[in-house]
Amino acid sequence: MHTDMEMWTEVRRRVLVEGLSKRAARREYGLGSETLEKILTHAEPPGYRSTGQRPRPKLGPFTGVIDEILATDADPSTPRKQRHTAKRVFERLRDEHGYSGSEVQVRRYIAERRRTQAEVFVPLSHPPGEAQFDFGEATVEIAGERMKAALAVMSLPYSDAFFVSAYPRECTETFQQGHVSGFEYFGGVPTKTAYDNTTIAVSKVMGGSQRQLTREFLRLESHYLFTHRFCRVARGNEKGHVENLVGFGRRNFLVPVPAFDTFADLNAHLARRCDADLDRRVRGKGTTKRERLAEDLAAMLALPAESFEARRVEQRRANTLSLVRFDRNDYSVPTAYAHHDLTVLGGVDHLTIAAGPQIVATHLRHWGRERVFFNPVHYLALLERKPGALDAARPLEDWDLPPCFALLRRRLEADLASGGTREFIKVLRLMERASLRELTSAVGQALRIGATGADAVGLILAHSQERPVGLFSLDGHPHLKSVVVDAIDLGAYRALTPIGDTA
């Protein structure tokens, strides 16, 4: 303490400078001879020096048991969330081994052991142009619903620049989209990217540095031509730069919990925050992140000219209701493809279903579960054969058509009785080749002229879809410019005209 140092200084000065005797100093300041000698020997009080380990008379016989428990917990096969707390170790010592000491002694010993056994890491060098990638998690509010979002984070350790994008869930297509968005944000492709052993990219760990990679990860790597480095199993610290930035982005960009209408709005916000962060100066460096990012970019690969489609491909069979299941939701296809094997391409925003090379259905992607999404047009061909089911058909129950369609149906059923319903369905089937807006215009025109049959509406629709033919041009057809067509001799046709006919 400060007062102790004042007395220490005063005693030294009075004895060593002013000549006060040691006997008088001991008597005046109440000091023992050893303490006085220590003051006169040292310019300041020496720190406490332990001469040996303090004895633990009660805990000592049990330290071996504690060490064994801690060693078992350190085994990778032990679940991380089911390892011993200090309290649980104390309870086991007490109940299973007869320990009669305090819990405090157990806690102190465990803290000391963990401190001395903690892993020490070597600082790593990060050349320009390399990246690290990882997913994190954060709570967000989208369209009024609070949910957990997956945060895809790509960092450039050399410049300390990083990019964060958010998605409803961590999966193959969001993993890919996180890369696409990161590459586009930075304006280049890192030459090498470090990952943990996520099953999205690694289908099997072969031992050592060998990995069996998934097809979709290899497709991403083949498109952008970067190389990879996977951390050793349970060694996420080998990409510690991005792991630290996952937490940094969550604390600085998403507090308080952000509320947006869509994930696109949230990602626009995150991109702005990442850009503003580039103006921070890197600790220990004389330049900002933005300035060092230029050096990163100089070492990166160029973005390819063709865009990359982030999607997951699965083979599915349409069921008896013409529904295909993908990612826990059901999506409709035309009834002609019921019981057929189909290919589903699931993107972040859209779902495409194909039969061979032909696309048969597209839907908006839904990230919930156990939902059914119908396109009413898919069921019209079946309803034409079963018109009595029109009003009870589930795919059509939420179909909000313009009022002119209800008027058309009433007129058709008034004119054709039971056949009017089938004729109305034929009109609706025109949406198999036209948009609702185009068909609505055609129906309105048909009602005005009193031509309400499906054939009449079809003719009006076809006429509205015709495009005027312009003059033929060779623009865009350079291969035709070298073609020469000889002039036609029309003399042979003169022989067919009557003699003397000069017309």
Exposed, middle or buried, 159 (CB in 10 Å: 0-12/13-18/19+)? buried
Q: Are residues 146 and 16 in the same domain?
A: no
Q: Are residues 134 and 260 in the same domain?
A: yes
> Per-residue pLDDT averaged across 443-448, rounded?
94
Looking at residue 234, its amino acid is A
- The answer to whether position 83 is within a domain reads yes
- The answer to whether position 425 is within a domain reads yes
Q: Which domain holds residue 417?
A: 380-465
pLDDT one-digit tens code per residue, 78-121: 887 788 999 999 999 999 999 998 898 899 889 888 877 765 55
Tell me the CA distances in angstroms from 105 to 63, 92, 108, 129, one per residue in order.
11, 14, 5, 51
pLDDT bin (cut points 50, 70, 90) of residue 503 is very low
pLDDT attached to residue 173: 96
Q: Are residues 174 and 275 in the same domain?
A: yes
Looking at residue 77, its amino acid is S
Selected residue with higher pLDDT from 485 and 106: 106
| Last residue in a domain, options 373, 390, 410 | 373
Q: Are residues 218 and 273 in the same domain?
A: yes
Q: Are residues 279 and 244 in the same domain?
A: yes
pLDDT attached to residue 469: 60
Q: What percent of the chain clears pLDDT 70, i.e. is strictly above it?
A: 89
- The answer to whether position 486 is within a domain reads no
Rg over alpha carbons for the chain, rounded to the nearest Å, is 40
Q: What token pair was written down for 112?
A: 């000391």
> Per-residue pLDDT averaged across 272-296, rounded?
89
* Model pTM score: 0.69
Q: Are residues 164 and 204 in the same domain?
A: yes
Q: Are residues 247 and 209 in the same domain?
A: yes
Q: What is the CATH number of the domain that holds 157?
A: 3.30.420.10
- The answer to whether position 470 is within a domain reads no
- The answer to whether position 478 is within a domain reads no
- The answer to whether position 268 is within a domain reads yes
HEC sequence for 68-103: HHHHHHHCCCCCHHHCCCHHHHHHHHHHHHCCCCCH
- The answer to whether position 497 is within a domain reads no
Q: Are residues 218 and 350 in the same domain?
A: no
| Last residue in a domain, options 279, 299, 319 | 299
Contact by Cβ (8 Å): 152, 250: no
Q: Are residues 195 and 291 in the same domain?
A: yes
Q: Are residues 149 and 262 in the same domain?
A: yes
Average pLDDT for the chain:
88
Q: What token pair was written down for 414?
A: 């008034």
Looking at residue 329, its amino acid is N
Contact by Cβ (8 Å): 174, 136: no
Q: Are residues 79 and 138 in the same domain?
A: no
pLDDT one-digit tens code per residue, 380-422: 999 999 999 999 999 999 899 999 999 999 999 999 988 999 9
Tally the domains of the chain: 5
